Amino acid sequence: MKTFGVVNLGNPRHILAIIIMAMAFFYIFGLPVLNFLHLIEGSISPVGRADHETKVLFQISLNTLVMIGSVFSWLKLVHNYNLNAILGSLKLKDVKNTHVAMVYGVSASLFFMIGMYMILSLVYILTGFKQENRLALWIGESLSWVGIIIVSVLAAFSEEIFFRGYLQERIGLFPAAFLFGFAHISYQNIVQVVAPIVFGIILGVLLIKTKNLYSTISAHFSFNLIQLTFIKIVTAAFSSIFI
CA atoms within 13 A on the CB side of 51: 1
β-partners of residue 8 are 3
pLDDT of residue 130: 73
| Predicted pLDDT at 49 | 52
User: What's the chain's average pLDDT?
Assistant: 88
Closest by CA position to 92, among listed 148, 156, 140 = 156
Q: Which residues, in sequence order, are CB contacts of 22 under 8 Å at separation 6+? A: none
Q: What percentage of the chain exceeds 90 in pLDDT?
A: 65
DSSP E strands, the chain: 3-4, 7-8
pLDDT score at 50: 57
> What is the model's pLDDT at position 41?
58
Is 182 or 8 the better-scoring residue by pLDDT?
A: 182
CB 47 within 8 A of CB 137: yes
Cα separation of the two ends of the chain: 42
Say how far apart CA 159 and CA 149 lie, in whole Å: 15
Q: Torsion-angle region of residue 181: left (phi > 0), alpha (psi -120 to 50) or beta?
A: alpha
pLDDT at 45: 43
Contacts of 83 (CB under 8 A, 6+ apart): none
Q: How confident is the model at residue 16 (pLDDT cuts 50, 70, 90)?
A: very high
The model's pLDDT over 97-111, given as tens digits with 9 standing for 90+, comes to 999 999 999 999 999
Q: Are 243 and 187 in contact (CB under 8 A)?
A: no
Q: Is residue 131 pLDDT above 90, yes or no? A: no
Nearest 5°: the CA angle 224, 216, 238 is: 20
Tell me the CA distances in angstroms from 212 to 37, 93, 107, 177, 200, one per residue in order.
Answer: 37, 9, 15, 17, 15
Domain ranges for the chain, please list them: 3-238
Does residue 18 surpass a pLDDT of 50?
Answer: yes
pLDDT by residue (tens digit) across 191-221? 889 999 999 999 999 999 999 999 999 999 9
Is the confidence at residue 178, as pLDDT, over 90? yes
Q: What's residue 51's pLDDT?
A: 77
Instruction: Determine the average pLDDT of the residues in 48-65.
Output: 86
Residue in 12, 9, 160 with CA at minimum distance from that of residue 77 = 12
Share of the chain above pLDDT 70, in %: 87
**Among 137, 6, 134, 139, residue whose Cα is nearest residue 63:** 139
